[in-house]
Amino acid sequence: MIYVIGLLAQLCFSARILIQWLMSERARKVLSPTVFWILSLAGAYLLCLYGWLRKDFAIVMGQFLSYYIYVWNLNAKHHWATLPALLRLVILATPVVILLTTLFQVDRLADRFFSQADIPLPLLLFGIVGQVVFSMRFLYQWYYSHKHEGQSLLPAGFWWMSLSGSFLIEVYALIRLDPVLLLGQSFGMVAYARNLIIGYRENQSKL
């Protein structure tokens, strides 16, 4: 059941990119559809739960920042307020509760995380850099959107950071011979590159 939760989270993340990509192709411009943020929030919620059940502090922390940016984007889309108040409270409180309960085990989790004999520390740090770049794209997206009158936008910088982080994770996956990471990131890289092309053509058409 724990793995099912993790797989459902990954399914939400893959579906958000596929839907956003197809909608952008049809509109011939880069879109930030509401369903993208709904699936992002659903995936992050499930992955937070998965990380807590697996006692994996890294997974919980990896989702914590972007989770609330998803909420911000739903609010910018005027969709957040349409959800029932109790559901909004549960959504907002769950990551905080999970993080607080996980922090009580942080020493043991840190030892396990940094003392894996089959992963050299330099390689582990390389993988972490990839994940940080990949995660920070949503902080950039929030900053960019906030600067543009609070609109929910997916700018070129977001896709460049997505592509860069994904490339680093792909290299890490190749070294680790991890087929799950390889397949997951390969699909994403195609969508990220395609969004950059769509955005470039949109800008050219405005000149």
Asked if 155 and 194 count as a contact pair (C-beta separation under 8 A), the reply is: no
pLDDT in tens, 155-175: 999 999 999 988 888 888 788
Taking the C-alpha atoms of residue 171 and residue 41, their distance in angstroms, rounded to an integer, is: 27
Non-local CB neighbours of 128 within 8 Å, separated by 6+ positions: none
**What pLDDT score does 106 carry?**
61
**What pLDDT score does 38 carry?**
96
Taking the C-alpha atoms of residue 192 and residue 28, their distance in angstroms, rounded to an integer, is: 15
The structural domain count of the chain equals: 1
pLDDT in tens, 88-126: 999 999 888 877 876 676 666 666 555 555 667 787 778
Strand positions, DSSP E, the chain:
none
Non-local CB neighbours of 22 within 8 Å, separated by 6+ positions: none
Q: What pTM value is reported for the model?
A: 0.84
What percent of the chain has pLDDT above 70? 85
Closest CA to 48 of 78, 83, 13, 81: 13
Burial label for 114, CB within 10 Å (0-12, 13-18, 19+), is exposed
Taking the C-alpha atoms of residue 153 and residue 145, their distance in angstroms, rounded to an integer, is: 5
**What pLDDT score does 184 carry?**
67
**What pLDDT score does 189 carry?**
86
Domain that residue 174 falls in: 2-206
Spell out, as residue ranges, where the chain has pLDDT lower than 50. none
